Chain A
Amino acid sequence: QEQLQESGPGLVEPSGTLSLTCGVSGDSVSWWSWVRQPPGKGLEWIGEISQTGSTNYNPSLRRRLTISADRAKGHFSLRLISVTAADTAVYYCARGFSKKWDYWGQGILVTVSS
C-alpha cells in the first residue's frame, strides 16, 4: 500500500517559484507524477519522474518546470518558476504505474498572490 503526502508553501508570490515535495512510502517500480486542479476546473497532468530519474513534462509547462527525486530521502519534488495566478491550484502527487495513477496524495492548495 503506497502512501503519498504533499508538502510545501500554500502561498507563492507572482513571478516567484512554486516548490512542492511529495513523501513516498513503500517500495515500488513506478513513475511519480504531479497533477493539478485549478479552482473550479478539471485535472491537468503536470509531469512525471521515473525511478531512474527520467522525466516527462507537459509541453505547456516544460520551460518553467523541473521535477526531481531524492530516493535516499524517499521523496520527489516539483519546481515551477515564474508563476502567475493561473498556477493557483490544488497540486496532487500520484504514483503512475502502467499508464494509470493508482495512489494519490490528498492534495495541497497553492495560491499565487501578493
Chain B
Amino acid sequence: QSALTQPPSASGSPGQSVTISCSGTSSDVGGYNYVSWYQHHPGKAPKLMIYDVTKRPSGVPDRFSGSKSGNTASLTVSGLQAEDEAHYYCSSYAGKTYHYVFGTGTKVTVL
C-alpha cells in the first residue's frame, strides 16, 4: 500500500487561505469516509485537526476545514496565523488488509 500523495509544501500570508490535497485510491480515500488530518510541530506530538473527512474535534478552530471528492481529500486553513506553520499529514482507513495509510506530509509556511 503506497503512501497518500500530498504536495511537499504550501504557503500563504497571514489572513490568507491555503488548501492541501491528499490523493489516494478507491481502496483508501475514495472507499471510506475515514480521512483524518494531523498538525505536527517538530518535537511535539501530532495533533488531530479533522476526522471523518469534515469533522473538527473540540478545541480546533473553525478556520480548519476538510472535504473530499473522489479519491482526493483536502484540508483548508483559512485566515492563516503564524501558529499554523507546521507539517500536516492526512491519513485514511484502507480496509482490513492494510488498515491505515498516511500521506507524505505537507510543510505549511506562513509568509
Q: Judge whether B18 is part of the interface by a CB distance below 8 angstroms.
A: no
* Minimum CB–CB distance for B39 against chain A, Å: 11
A16 to B34, CA, bound (A): 36
In the bound complex, what is the Cα–Cα distance between A100 and B52 (angstroms)?
Answer: 8
Q: Interface size (B, Cβ < 8 Å)? A: 27
The residues of A that contact B111 with a CB separation of less than 8 Å are none
Q: Are B101 and A100 in contact (CB under 8 A)?
A: no
Q: Which of A44, A56, A100, A104 contacts B51 (CB 8 A)?
A: A100
CB distance from B9 to the nearest CB of A (A): 13
Residue pair B52, A44 in contact (C-beta under 8 Å): no
User: Which of B45, B52, B101 contacts A104 (CB under 8 A)?
Assistant: B45
Show the binding face of B for A, using Cβ within 8 Å. Answer: 1, 3, 32, 34, 36, 38, 40, 44-48, 51-52, 57, 89, 91, 93, 97-105
A-B contact pairs, 27 of them (CB 8 A): A35-B102, A42-B89, A42-B103, A42-B104, A43-B38, A43-B46, A43-B89, A43-B91, A58-B99, A59-B98, A92-B45, A92-B46, A98-B51, A99-B32, A99-B34, A99-B36, A99-B51, A100-B34, A100-B52, A100-B91, A101-B48, A101-B91, A102-B51, A102-B57, A104-B47, A105-B45, A106-B45
